[in-house]
């Protein structure tokens, strides 16, 4: 299994809108991709912004290519979500999951 990690810093007043965007737009799309295994969305609040880390789980890099295209290291951030963030990563990191106790 491959974990794909992305990070963004949302404006505090836009954080819930981002979560809704994920639930209503992104997740239905991801669930249609063969090899998508799940997602963790993590949030940390601060006084200036809300940090999100999104960790998607995939069966293989081939499955990730179905979502991200050939340049798998480039972040996929929908136009509708871009304005919700003060800053976000333009690239992602991929990790091989070597242990899972869930």
CATH number at residue 6: 3.30.70.100
Residue 96 lies inside a defined structural domain of this protein: no
Residue 100 pLDDT exceeds 90 = no
How many domains does the chain contain in total?
Answer: 1
Residue 15 sits in which domain range? 2-86
Question: Closest Cα partner for 53 from 21, 24, 93?
Answer: 93
Q: How confident is the model over 14-69, as pLDDT tens digits?
A: 999 999 999 999 999 999 999 999 999 999 998 888 999 999 999 999 999 999 99
pLDDT of residue 87: 95
12 is a domain residue: yes
How is residue 89 written in tokens?
């990563």
Count of beta carbons in the 10 Å neighbourhood of residue 58: 25
β-bridge pairing 2-10 and 50-58: antiparallel
102 within a domain of the structure (yes/no):
no
Question: Does residue 101 sit within a domain?
Answer: no
- Does the pLDDT at position 101 exceed 90? no
Q: 50 lies in a domain?
A: yes
DSSP designation for 56: E
């Amino acid at each position: 299994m491959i974990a794909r990690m992305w990070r963004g810093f949302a404006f505090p007043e836009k954080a819930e809108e981002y979560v809704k965007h994920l639930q209503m737009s992104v997740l239905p799309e991801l669930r249609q991709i063969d090899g998508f295994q799940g997602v963790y969305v993590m949030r940390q609040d601060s006084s200036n912004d809300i940090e999100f880390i999104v960790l998607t789980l995939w069966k293989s890099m081939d499955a990730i290519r179905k979502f991200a295209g050939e340049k798998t290291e480039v972040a996929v951030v929908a136009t509708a979500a871009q304005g919700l963030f003060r800053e976000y990563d333009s690239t992602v990191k991929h990790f091989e999951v070597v242990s899972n106790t869930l």
